[in-house]
Amino acid sequence: MLSFILRRLLLAIPTLFGVLVIVFLLLYVAPGDPVQEMVGERADPETVARLRAELRLDDPLHKQFVHYAGGVVQGDLGRSYITRRPILQDIRERFPKTLQLAGAAMLLASVIGITIGILSARVPGGWFDRISLGVAYLGISFPVYWVGLILILVFAVMLRWLPPSGYGGIEYLILPALALGSRSIAFLARVTRSAMLDVLGSDFVRTARAKGQSERLVITRHALRNALIPIITVLGLDFGYYLTGSILTETIFSWPGLGRYVVNAISRRDLPAIQGSVLFLSVVFVLVNLITDLAYAKADPRVAYKTAS
Amino acid sequence: MRRASLILLLLASVACRGGESSPTRRTLIDSRDTYDPRSLDPALSTDVPTGRAVAYVFDGLVRFTPAAEIVPGLARSWEVSDGGKVYTFHLRTGVKFHDGRPFTAQNVINSFQRVLDPATTGGRGWPLYPIQGAREYGDGKAQSITGLSAPNDSTVVIALTEPLAIFPKLLAMPVTSIIPDSVPANFGERPIGTGPWKFVEWKHDDYLLFARNDAYWGGAAKADSLMARIIAEPSTAVAEFETGNVDVLQVPEQEARNWEQTDEKSAMLSSAPALRFWYVGINTTRGPLRDARVRQALNLAVDVPTILDRMVSGHGRIAAGVIPPTLPGADTMRAPYKRDVARAKQLLAEAGFPNGIDVELWSSQSPPFPRIAQTIQAYLAEAGIRAKLVQRDASSVREASRKGETDMILKEWFADYPDAENFLYPLLHTTNRGVGGNISFYSNPNFDRIVDQARREQDDAARAALYRQADAIAFADAPMIFLFHHRVLYAIQPWIKGFEIPTIFNGQNWTGVSIAR
């Protein structure tokens, strides 16, 4: 198991290097100029030329890349062109907040989504199944942006139960987590339902029922455990969605996380900030994929990761 | 996006309960910042949120009132001598920075040097370039700025390269604020000034918090503290205002009419002319656009009153020149271009384009730009001008227009200081082509000469006359489609007393604002 993890981590290095190169090249060919954003609406050509030289923007591409990659290898993501703050400090400040939001969304989505899925699977075609199916379709179809605004309107402006936006205690977390998790709730409910239906039709469930076990035990101990693999897959895949979805959610709910940071960095062409955030998020992705794979083995003893092949 | 916010708005107007009671909090809360400031270091203040916050913590030698009048700041008074080339500022004595250190004339010199120092990488040295030796210092060719001196602790003498009547206004810009000596590397995160508010904390992308400076030379602020919340989405700011969590809201243009038509809401509204000019920059060096008749035809093709009415809820005044009607030099009697499709076609034919022309019209993707661009495109089509819309993010549009790659670009221009010069000179003077702000690449020696003369002119009335003359030349040459001068619409909570809408972005420092009990 340990060597499996090590091997996967080693394999991640070329992946991350690839990400680094691609992001660097994309930003190089994309229009827009960080210096023009720094100086604002009015400047003079001399200042622009001096700042370009200062930031090494006039160096040949390979030189710029070597300079940047050299810093990254030493754990230095550089300083923001615009704010002059170290990128790593910015990420350290914001990522925990994004993680908090993603975690809350995931928790909400799994609790609500899996419960709905199980309940629908118990009586397929029943009233609960049909209603939840309809709601699930709506949940998948509505964009996060719209859901977010409606949640603010209903729970903050009309009912005054929760604050419309901002960062603080748990009351600030509920609406953005719901908005971010809404699509996932629907998706998880659908996947859980079909996985449960598959398992509930199998022989061992019939056996369990035949030996007189209660329906609750049949579902929780026998069926759900065996339906977990596709659910874990969806959760793992969705995590990526949480990180990208957080860009919109954080913007709507004024949540001071990494998503908004990236949006700001892109709009101001703050190259080190964009590169640093994308690289950091890629590391997170690699780790999440690894954790998902490990979770398979935990959920299903038949899945095992051998040391060598 | 727009549709969603519209639905939200409609539902909100049904939901609005009105008659909010005063909040128990003692902190004033602003909602106008849409993104995190660049820094709180004055030398880096090149954007609006930064400039606003800097104006709370710091003072300049002079400052703006909400009505954009210039009043003494750290300088009690000043005189001009040597035909307008030398400014002598008499400084306030007994003023202390928030950390207790005294303010002296040397702080002024050091602050200005720091703004120009290449190592600061602020990127906004131009307000100080009129000072003798400033450019040389900024280019690293001199050890000090020759035109700056402090004969004693309470006097600063500034010598300019040539007379410049607007110079004091440049010293009310955030970038020329005065900072203490030998500031630490994280000064942008922990600013220390002499201003009415002391810095308390900055939660990035969340809020900035300031506390009253009880020892402020201009009299302590009425409220205990001031919070500037950073809210990216306009609909969210609206929701925060409706729940009473923020005190002041800048009503989004596209929602203004709905607010005005709801009784409880319209009672909270107030508006003021902003020094904000909407126009379509026409690149006068590209193809058929080199011909003034073609550019006049463009102006005649567009129905500006309808655009103003439908797109920004009528909040503005049709432009008949670049100078906002509230500033000296504006000719409020001049008739704007009036839509006349036949005349536009005739002018095109006279210029040698009887079959019309093909142009690109660039705009950014943020509302309400795309809708206005589409409307202009439709009007132009009726006059035989085939405009292709190009929509990119703001940064790409800016870069392309400064390189001269855009035929036409829909833009707005915010003043840095209240003077006609801030419109005529950056937008249309030959010196400022490209990155300086003249994205029309307009170059008319006659116009330049009059603007240069106006910059040197010491007499206010004579200067205004020159401005008017230059504006008339530009209006006839039509290096842009003149759209409108904006009026901003604010919503202010009923419990807020003393908030005046600032004409210029750093004109309201909240010292006279309080929460009524």
| Dihedral sign, Cα of residue B473, residue B477, residue B482, residue B488 | negative
What structural domains and CATH numbers belong to chain A? 32-76 (no CATH), 88-308 (1.10.3720.10)
B66 burial class (0-12, 13-18, 19+ CB within 10 angstroms)? Answer: middle
Please tell me which of the candidates B46, B232, B437 has its beta carbon nearest to residue A260.
Answer: B232
DSSP B131-170: BTTHHHHHTT--SS-TTEEEEETTEEEEEBSS--TTHHHH
Question: What integer pLDDT is reported at residue B20 of this predicted model?
Answer: 54
What confidence score (pLDDT) does residue B17 get? 43
Inter-chain residue contact A85 with B189, CB threshold 8 Å: yes
Residues within 8 A of A (CB atoms), B 210-239 only = 229-233, 235-236, 239
Q: What are phi and psi of B356, to 5 degrees?
A: 80, 180
Amino acid present at B314: G
Tell me which amino acid residue A144 is: V
Give DSSP secondary structure letters for A246-298.
Answer: HHHHHHHTT--SHHHHHHHHHHTT-HHHHHHHHHHHHHHHHHHHHHHHHHHHH
Rounded percentage of chain B residues whose pLDDT exceeds 90: 87
Contact B396 A31 (CB under 8 A): yes
Measured between beta carbons, the chain A residues lying within 8 angstroms of B400 are: 31
CB contact under 8 A, B188 and A83: yes
| Region of B362 on the Ramachandran plot (φ > 0 left; ψ -120 to 50 alpha; else beta) | beta
B23 falls in which pLDDT band (50, 70, 90)? confident
Task: Give the type of residue at B221.
Answer: A
B242 in A contact zone (CB under 8 Å): yes
For residue A308, what pLDDT is reported? 43
- The answer to whether B123 faces chain A, any CB pair under 8 Å, is yes
Chain B nearest CA to A205, separation (Å): 47
Summarize chain B as % helix, strand, coil (round to 5). Answer: 35, 25, 40
Beta strands at B70-72 and B75-81: parallel, antiparallel or unpaired: unpaired
Calpha distance A30→B59 (Å, rounded) = 40
Contact A241, A184 (CB under 8 A): yes
The beta-carbon neighbor of B46 closest among A40, A143, A269 is A40
Among B114-128, B383-397, B501-515, the least confident range:
B114-128
Burial class (CB in 10 A: 0-12, 13-18, 19+), B379: buried
**Looking at the predicted structure, is the pLDDT value of residue B10 above 60?**
no
Q: How many helices (H) and strands (E) does chain A have?
A: 13, 0
**Chain B residue with the nearest C-alpha to that of A145:** B1
Q: For residue A66, give both structure tokens.
A: 């070597």
- Three-class SS state of A202: coil
SS3 A32: coil
Q: Does residue B105 have a pLDDT over 90?
A: yes
For residues B305 and B426, the answer to whether their CB atoms sit within 8 Å is no
Mutate to test the interface with A, among B201, B204, B205 (most CBs of A within 10 A): B205
B414 contacts in A (CB within 8 Å)?
Answer: 41
DSSP output for B469-500: HHHHHHHHH-SEEEEEEEEEEEEE-TTEESPP
> Would you say residue B449 has pLDDT above 50?
yes
A41/B414 CB distance under 8 A: yes
Task: Report the distance separating Cα B276 and Cα B414, nearest Å.
Answer: 5
CB contact under 8 Å between B12 and A153, yes or no, is yes
Residue B56 pLDDT greater than 80, yes or no = yes
Pairing of strands B357-364, B385-392: parallel
Amino acid, single-letter form, for residue A186: A
* Residues A35 and B425: beta-carbon distance below 8 Å: no
- Give the best-scoring range by mean pLDDT among B10-14, B78-82, B261-265: B78-82
Contact call for B206 and A167, based on CB within 8 A: yes
Whether the CB of B343 is below 8 Å from some CB of chain A: the reply is: no
Q: What is the pLDDT of residue A299?
A: 75
β-bridge partners, B248: B30, B492
Residue A228, classified by CB atoms within 10 Å of its CB into exposed (0-12), middle (13-18) or buried (19+), is: buried
Amino acid letter for position B139: D
Which residue type is seen at B75? A
CA B295 to the chain's CA centroid: 26
* A262 to chain B: closest CA residue: B205
Cα separation, B483 vs B136, whole angstroms: 39
Q: Which residue has the tokens 């503290």?
A: B225
Position B51 confidence tier, pLDDT thresholds 50, 70, 90: very high
Q: Does B146 touch chain A (CB under 8 A)?
A: no
* Per-residue model confidence as pLDDT tens digits over B191-227: 999 999 999 999 999 999 999 999 999 999 999 999 9
Asked if the peptide bond before residue A143 counts as cis, ω within 30 degrees of 0, the response is no
Nearest CB to B242; choose among A145, A157, A263: A157
Question: Looking at residues B330-351, what average pLDDT do you find?
Answer: 96
Contact flag B15-A41 (C-beta cutoff 8 Å): no
What is the spatial distance between Cα B240 and Cα A306, in angstroms, rounded to a whole number?
Answer: 55
**Are B50 and A82 within 8 A, CB to CB?**
no
pTM: 0.90
User: Residue A64 in contact with residue A90, Cβ under 8 Å?
Assistant: no
Give the distance from CA A303 to its chain's centroid: 25
Amino acid code (one letter) for B353: F
Inspect the interface and report whether the beta carbons of B235 and A145 lie closer than 8 Å.
no
- A47, A57, A260: best mutation site toward chain B, by most B Cβ within 10 Å? A47
Q: Does B189 touch chain A (CB under 8 A)?
A: yes
Per residue of chain A (309 residues), what is the pLDDT tens digit? 788 888 888 888 898 899 889 988 888 888 888 898 888 888 888 889 888 888 888 889 899 899 888 888 888 899 999 999 999 999 999 999 999 999 999 999 889 988 888 888 888 888 888 888 888 788 778 888 889 999 999 999 999 999 999 999 899 999 999 999 888 888 888 888 888 888 888 888 888 888 888 888 888 777 888 788 888 888 888 887 787 778 889 999 999 999 999 999 998 899 999 999 999 988 888 888 888 888 877 777 777 665 444
Per-residue tokens: B384: 């035989």
B306, amino acid identity:
T
Q: In sequence order, what are the residues at sequence separation of 6 or more whose Cβ sits closer than 8 angstroms to the Cβ of residue B265? A: B13, B16, B259, B491
Q: What is the pLDDT of residue A304?
A: 66
